Amino acid sequence: MRPSVYSSASFLYPFVMARCTWCGDDPIYVAYHDEEWGVPIHDDRHLFELLILEGAQAGLSWETILKRRATYRVAFDVFEIVKVAGYGAEKIAELLEDEGIIRNRLKVNAAVKNANVVLGIQRESGSFDAYLWSFVPDGRPMQPDRASMGNVPAETPESEALSKDLKKRGMTFVGPTIMQAFMQSAGLVNDHQITCFRHEPIKRLFGVHVFQNPDR
């Protein structure tokens, strides 16, 4: 039986403390870094959730979004793509009154619009997963082996290409910088520093189909 990639990193690596410098020491950030960031994702619902959350982060910190993730899931029907795509004016008004999410009209409207684009992509490509992974060489996670976060670019040719195509299809809040963050989070690129204890384990996860833990 394949071990869960969501096993507690503190259990798997109790004596290793070297992490990517960006995660600091906030428990929610550390848990996200240790258990989720960079793990290859191949589940459409999970990928859509991450896409919407990365867009919601625009102008804010990722920590702000992580602390609201549970309420986002409730507000957006666990990010069921078909449900979000069907949101009408009444549901959008309800979301804009929900203090548990970022109450930005443009971002809420983008979630609905982007869900409809994802449905089109699924019809065209078979899955959102297949579409997204076509933007990385050979459909495999990129392994840049960066020595420090100072070597990590805000954008890459791959994130620029993905952003350009999504915008062409009608998506918003999918600029190349947001798409770079999305690709890092979804494991299309392994941007853990080579000194980070998660770098090598993530490198060995190619091909693992990961599903979001609904309790996180």
Q: Of the listed 29, 32, 131, 133, which one is catalytic?
A: 32
Q: Of the listed 29, 37, 62, 87, which one is catalytic?
A: 62
Q: Decide if 62 is catalytic.
A: yes
Q: Decide if 22 is catalytic.
A: no
Q: Decide if 32 is catalytic.
A: yes
Distance in angstroms (rounded) separating the CA atoms of residues 142 and 134: 12
Q: What residue type is 31 in one-letter code? A: A
Contacts of 108 (CB under 8 A, 6+ apart): 92, 95, 96, 101
Q: Of the listed 35, 36, 49, 54, which one is catalytic?
A: 54
Distance in angstroms (rounded) separating the CA atoms of residues 110 and 91: 14
Positions marked catalytic: 32, 54, 62
